[in-house]
Copies of this chain bind each other. A is one copy, B any other.
């Protein structure tokens, strides 16, 4: 059990309650799709991305309740990426959060389609006409555009493709940074930027929030790489050593564990520098950065 701060725990509880009903009930003919999506979506986890989004909204004095669908959409996309990543043609992982992965439980075909369903549903949820009660249409459009850009060809999917290309190659610091910036960084940036858009922050604050997100994403991914080598599999809910098995290009494989830890700390400090420039209340977002640096799973 993670030791979340009371503030994190309070946002997490609100988010989990919303998430339970965010994915729609489907026709009985496709009960298996709903079951498969809920199996992965409601399997717990840190919910870091939605919490980041909600924290920015709160810091920018926006309404948490109105932002919940956007937080859920980011989690839908994160969840779809994990389901597709675990497939045999990708990382071929059998265990996720201590349970059989989606395709082990439901078959590869249903797992593939559960991922596709989550990705489509993310955009379905945040473009619903009732959002117009809460936000101007232009702001909704900007949030949709931000998420689509950073989940796809200019973000997460690009990072996954580069990751595949880099496996079994010698790799370089530049390529490693490209991979992490895109694969992990951009969805973290999208979460924060969507929060800034929804809260109506000015361009200066929005830019600073994005830079904060890039540094935070780097810190997160370096820790992820380190934990894949040194973490406790019972706490992680998955076997360690998966990156080595798949000959992935990682920070420890390129720099060793000690230098990787130093780079994580450096990214953390950079994140705090940008956070100071946002003009937002520092504490909740700084607490999240601390959490990212110090997490053990």
Nearest CB on B from A119, distance (A) = 6
- The answer to whether the Cβ of A87 comes within 8 Å of any Cβ in the partner chain is yes
- Contact status B112-A87, CB under 8 Å: yes
- The answer to whether the Cβ of A43 comes within 8 Å of any Cβ in the partner chain is no
- The answer to whether the Cβ of A95 comes within 8 Å of any Cβ in the partner chain is no
Contacts of A158 in B (CB 8 A): 26-27, 29-30, 33, 117
A interface secondary structure, majority: helix
Considering residues A26, A136, A137, A157, which has the most beta carbons from chain B within 10 angstroms of its beta carbon?
Answer: A157
- The answer to whether the Cβ of A145 comes within 8 Å of any Cβ in the partner chain is yes
- Which one of B138, B153, B162 lies within 8 Å of A132 (CB-CB)? B138
- Which one of B110, B119, B152 lies within 8 Å of A124 (CB-CB)? B152
The number of times this chain is found in the oligomer is 2
Taking residues whose C-beta sits less than 8 angstroms from the other chain, chain A's interface range is 35 or more
- The answer to whether the Cβ of A165 comes within 8 Å of any Cβ in the partner chain is yes
- Contact status B109-A153, CB under 8 Å: no
- The answer to whether the Cβ of A6 comes within 8 Å of any Cβ in the partner chain is no
Nearest CB on B from A148, distance (A) = 4
- Which one of B108, B119, B128, B145 lies within 8 Å of A128 (CB-CB)? B145
A binding-site residues for B, Cβ under 8 Å: 24, 26-27, 29-30, 32-33, 80, 84, 87, 89-90, 107-110, 112-113, 115-117, 119-121, 123-124, 127-129, 131-132, 136-138, 140-142, 144-145, 147-149, 151-154, 157-158, 160-162, 164-165, 175, 178-179
